[in-house]
Amino acid sequence: MTVYDLQRIQLPILPTEFRDRDDSSDTHFVPAPCQVACPVGTDAPSYIGYIWEGKLEKAFEAITATNPFSSICGRVCDAPCEPACRRSDSDGPVQIRNLKRHVMDELGASYRLPQLSVTQTETVGIIGGGPAGLTAANDLCAAGYTVHVYEMTDRLGGMMVWGIPAFRLPPGIIQQDIDRLTNRCEGLHIHLNSALGEQVTLDELKSRHNAVLMTIGAWRGKPMGIPGEDHPRVVDGVGFLRRVNGGERPELPETVVVIGGGDVAMDACRVAKRLPGCKHVKVIYRRGPDEIPARRTELEGAIEEGIEFIYHTQQVAIESNVDSLVLRCVRTELGDADEDGRRRPVAVTDSEHDVECGMVIASVGQQTECNELSQHNMMAGDRINTTFEGMCTSDPKVFAAGDGAFGGSTIVMAMHHGQRAAYYVKAFLEGRENPLPYRTPYRTRRVPVAQDIMWEKHPVHHPEFFGLGEKPVDFPEIEATYNRETALAEAARCYRCDAETGSADYAVRHREDLFSMARTGPTDLPKLQTMLQRRLPVRDNPYPPGRPPNLDDIVFLPANLSRLVIDPYREACKVSTDLAGRIELAQPFLVTGFDQAPVEVRDGVGKGLAQSNCGYVGTIPLNDSSPWFQLLTSRETEPSADAAALLQTVGEKFQTPQLERQHDHQILGLAVSSSQLLEESLQYSLEQGLDMMLLDGTGQVGEAWPELHTAPDFGILRDAVAILRRLRREEEIALVYFGGIRSGTDAAKVIGLGTVAVALGVCVGLAVGGQVRDGNLLFSSDSNAEERAAAVVNILKANASEASMMARCTGKTNLHNLEPEDLRSVTISTASATGIPLVGTRN
């Protein structure tokens, strides 16, 4: 499937056993294009996120979770994820493979994965120790089975060992993966030098094991089907690579021609170029540079190493001279598309020409040969007769996978086959008929996105390219691994298509649906129909019952036509706040909650408040240069003459306070924390001519961070305003609210509800570096008093700017002119807690 297929948006049913490895039912996750493009479903976005966070071990776990050959893939995977990367359309794909290589180079040799122990009695025989077979072995061992792998050569790895030259994949890297796998799979038994039909027969395997899996690979090069190809200096690509990877370094003629444009051709030409005697390597390919199937980086690497590419040319015959070969060719042009959608090369008339060379390496495909299976009548042409749906052969006990079953492909595709096969073998062993179709599970590790401010600008980072190196015949590695700095920058480039967006209306599911709609043709009826059924269901209620009222659920009504717009960017809006004619605050804020804070923090906050001319509400003053609103929590507390205000807390029951002004400008007031006490408290305050009332929406003003413990009670504010309104004495006492004010916007809402100012607690605590831990704010020592003071000044200024922006949007030039009429609620619970009508309704 392509990454924009509906199947990505609406994945097929997941087999139950994969539930713990799949997150596609998470409403905040759609597997990213790269993950879907990866045949083994690698959670690339997560490991890229971890790399950026510096959590390489977590990245390693994410990489290896679905890929037992991660070190190998870090170097030579054909990386179908990269063309799928959405950034390809922009400035080039994220270099997912190189990032993997970075992690594996750091940890591939050392990091231990948990052991996989034997829990089942059944055993499985696997023929062939290549990527398909070993991946299946890995998965079956993970399921607790005992697995015997029979390998015809003297080492494990299959094509990864014999097909890929060391300059791309050093033997040590292969060994890392093999060792990791064999060490952790306790039920894995390896039988080397055990070829099917020679050291072991199919019937033996069937009698020894409960199931058999054939992953025998495709080891023989396909013939070109032209006259002269049986000449001894015409060799096949896989055979050639196998010799060299076995350690030989044959002397080659001066000019070598490689025929074909796939990965084997690329490896063969680059190997030839490095061998003694060879000076020129020419690659002949029958289509053009846009059609060549070789991976772009391999192609570019080959060109960089001086290999000549001859496109639109097809071989027709080989003749031999005395000491050279003559390859007869015709030029081609692209004709109509054939079944696989690629345009067929058509010979141009009278274009015959000769290419002289000393050797021809034919890399036009691979095939499988197995006498044993032929005798059992299990072959279909050059492949094992296998269904992709169940990985079944004609024998119910025998399964097949990999190149041997489906033709030459990539390592990662072979691994996918191995995983599929393991799934069906397991179902067979468990006696489950007709299991749900295999589906690649998609996990996400929900890693936060990289906070690199350059993420939009970082270009693709190409690792340093060494090419042939100083001594080509030693096959030194062709390119470097990212260093840490480069890896971070490349990781930061990731769009993180897996991550939930910051927008509810354009959440990741919506975004991906819209992407799919944009890639659905008007005649693609099934996709249109399915997409409609996907878009019709209603969303979950974002405001489930029981959700407490929230200031977030109040909005401001902007000025428009019925009320004159002011220019919020330019016209001033007054925020200064007069408290009962006794104190003029520059901003409508008081601060509270630092009584028990560390002295360094108190110092910084005190400085900031002094600079901002902002009052502090507490039982002890922060310093003597910012106005202190003394909180009298008991009748025994001595009122201070230094305090700008005396605030007597009203406990659980109203008792007549004894408040006496210590000087003329001192403000007197009560701090009330329950609606039940309002009637008496307000009556008393009005009778006594008290200046202000602190409405405590937390019940614990003065304590450390009560706002972290309880949802703020806005009812107390609503009720206080209602009482004053009933008495028609709203203007006679200044209401100040405390509880859950997080921003200037919150403050403006509460001011609109009827207060003149708000007290800030946790908001300022966070501004000066507090970290929320277990219902408390913890302060670290990484800022000094001046920095904390600046943070206080800034947060108060910012909150004031937000509050005034809100007032200006409603058309007000004085923050204190905000009124309930400027507000609406968006939820019923908030409407009832605040008395502010729901949007769209009349009351």
Partner 1 sequence: MVTIDLAELSVRDGNELIRKHGAAGEDVEVTNPDARHHIGVGLISPITVKIRGSAGYFCAGLTDQAHFKVDNNVGWGLGDNMYAGSVVVSGNAGAIAGVAIRGAELIVRGNVGSRAGQVMKAGTLCCAGNANFMAGYMMYGGRIIILGDSGERLGEDMTGGEIFVGGSIQDLGADAEVTDIAADEIESVREFLDRYKISFKGSFQKVVNAGKKLRYDTSEQQRRSIPFFSFSGDSSYWNPKIQEDIHIKSHIGRYRIRGYGGARSLPHLADLAFKRDLSGAGHDDDVVSQVEMHTEIGGKNGANPLKLSMPVMIAPMSYGALSRSTKEAIGIASSLSRIAENTGEGGMSDAQRDAADQLIFQCLGGRLGWNIHDMLRADGLEIYISQGAKPGLGGQLMAKKVTPELAAIRGIPAGIDLRSPSRHPDILGADDLVIKIEEFREATGYRLPVSVKLGAGRVRDDIKIAAKDGFDFIELDGMQGSTGAGSAEVIDYVGIPTLAAIIEAEEALAEIGRRQDVEIVLMGGMRDGADAVKGLCLGADAIAFGTSVLIAGGCIACMQCHVGQCVTGIATQDPEHEKRYQASVEAQNIHRFLESVRWQIAAITQGLGYADVRDLSREDLVAVTPEAAAITGLPYAPEYRENRVPQAVKVN
Stretch 558-617 residues interacting with partner 1 (CB under 8 A):
558-570
Nearer CB in complex with partner 1: 202/796? 796
Tokens matching residue 585:
């605050």
Tokens matching residue 430:
């468990």
Q: Least separation, in Å, of the C-beta of 71 and partner 1?
A: 31
297 membership: H or E segment, kind and range: helix 296-304
C-alpha to C-alpha distances, 360 to 120, 158, 295, 297, 417, nearest whole angstrom: 51, 24, 22, 24, 32
Site for partner 1 (CB under 8 A): which residue of 522, 636, 658, 773?
522
Query: How many CA atoms are closer than 13 Å to the CA of 142, on its beta-carbon side?
Result: 18
Binding mask 478-517 for partner 1 (x = CB under 8 A): -----------------x-x-xxxxxxxxxx-xx-xxx-x
Nearer CB in complex with partner 1: 225/545? 545
Nearer CB in complex with partner 1: 77/793? 793
Tokens matching residue 131:
């990527």
Report phi then psi at 235, rounded to 5. -120, 165
Q: What is the DSSP letter of 14?
A: P
Helix (H, G, I), strand (E, B) or coil at 26: coil
679 membership: H or E segment, kind and range: helix 678-688
Strands 757-760 vs 667-672: parallel, antiparallel or unpaired: unpaired
Residues in contact with partner 1, counted by CB under 8 A, come to a total of: 123
Nearer CB in complex with partner 1: 564/599? 564
CB 46 within 8 A of CB 494: no
Residue type present at position 758: V
Nearer CB in complex with partner 1: 132/449? 449
Residue with tokens 């649906």: 513
Q: Least separation, in Å, of the C-beta of 725 and partner 1?
A: 22
789 membership: H or E segment, kind and range: helix 785-809
129-158 residues in contact with partner 1 (CB under 8 A) are none
Binding mask 754-773 for partner 1 (x = CB under 8 A): --------xx--xxx---x-
537 in contact with partner 1 (CB under 8 A): yes
| Nearest CA among 478, 472, 477 for reference residue 252 | 472
Q: Least separation, in Å, of the C-beta of 320 and partner 1?
A: 50
| Nearest CA among 734, 735, 746, 740 for reference residue 798 | 746
C-alpha to C-alpha distance for 669 and 752, rounded to whole angstroms: 21
543 in contact with partner 1 (CB under 8 A): yes
CB 777 within 8 A of CB 771: yes
Q: Least separation, in Å, of the C-beta of 527 and partner 1?
A: 9
- Helices (DSSP H) in 22-168: which residue ranges? 33-37, 44-53, 56-64, 70-76, 81-84, 96-107, 131-142, 159-162
| Nearest CA among 360, 762, 828, 819 for reference residue 594 | 762
Q: Least separation, in Å, of the C-beta of 452 and partner 1?
A: 8
Q: Least separation, in Å, of the C-beta of 431 and partner 1?
A: 24
| CA 508 to mean position of chain CA atoms | 12
Nearer CB in complex with partner 1: 118/460? 460
β-sheet bridge partners, residue 616: 591, 628
Q: Least separation, in Å, of the C-beta of 718 and partner 1?
A: 18
689-708 residues in contact with partner 1 (CB under 8 A) are 707-708
Query: How many CA atoms are closer than 13 Å to the CA of 519, on its beta-carbon side?
Result: 14
Helix (H, G, I), strand (E, B) or coil at 142: helix
Tokens matching residue 485:
């700095």
Nearer CB in complex with partner 1: 350/540? 540
Nearer CB in complex with partner 1: 20/154? 20
14 in contact with partner 1 (CB under 8 A): yes
C-alpha to C-alpha distance for 808 and 825, rounded to whole angstroms: 19
Nearer CB in complex with partner 1: 3/73? 3
21 in contact with partner 1 (CB under 8 A): no
Please choose, out of 140-148, 308-316, 390-398, 533-541, the segment that lies near partner 1 by the rule CB under 8 A.
533-541
541 in contact with partner 1 (CB under 8 A): yes
Q: Least separation, in Å, of the C-beta of 488 and partner 1?
A: 15
CB 100 within 8 A of CB 70: yes
Q: Least separation, in Å, of the C-beta of 301 and partner 1?
A: 26
Residue type present at position 80: P
Tokens matching residue 843:
């009351």
Nearer CB in complex with partner 1: 78/498? 498
11 in contact with partner 1 (CB under 8 A): yes
Nearer CB in complex with partner 1: 669/769? 769
Binding mask 36-75 for partner 1 (x = CB under 8 A): ----------------------------------------
784-843 residues in contact with partner 1 (CB under 8 A) are 791-795, 797-799, 801-802, 805-806, 808-811, 824, 826-828, 838-841
624 in contact with partner 1 (CB under 8 A): no
| Nearest CA among 303, 229, 291, 226 for reference residue 266 | 303
Site for partner 1 (CB under 8 A): which residue of 449, 659, 678, 833?
449
Site for partner 1 (CB under 8 A): which residue of 220, 233, 462, 547?
547
Describe the crossing of helices 171-184 and 131-142 by its angle, rounded to 10 degrees: 30
Q: Least separation, in Å, of the C-beta of 754 and partner 1?
A: 18
453 in contact with partner 1 (CB under 8 A): yes
Q: Least separation, in Å, of the C-beta of 506 and partner 1?
A: 5
732-751 residues in contact with partner 1 (CB under 8 A) are 740, 742-745
Strands 757-760 vs 589-592: parallel, antiparallel or unpaired: parallel
Nearer CB in complex with partner 1: 57/571? 571
Q: Least separation, in Å, of the C-beta of 797 and partner 1?
A: 4
Q: Least separation, in Å, of the C-beta of 522 and partner 1?
A: 5
374 in contact with partner 1 (CB under 8 A): no
C-alpha to C-alpha distance for 395 and 212, rounded to whole angstroms: 10
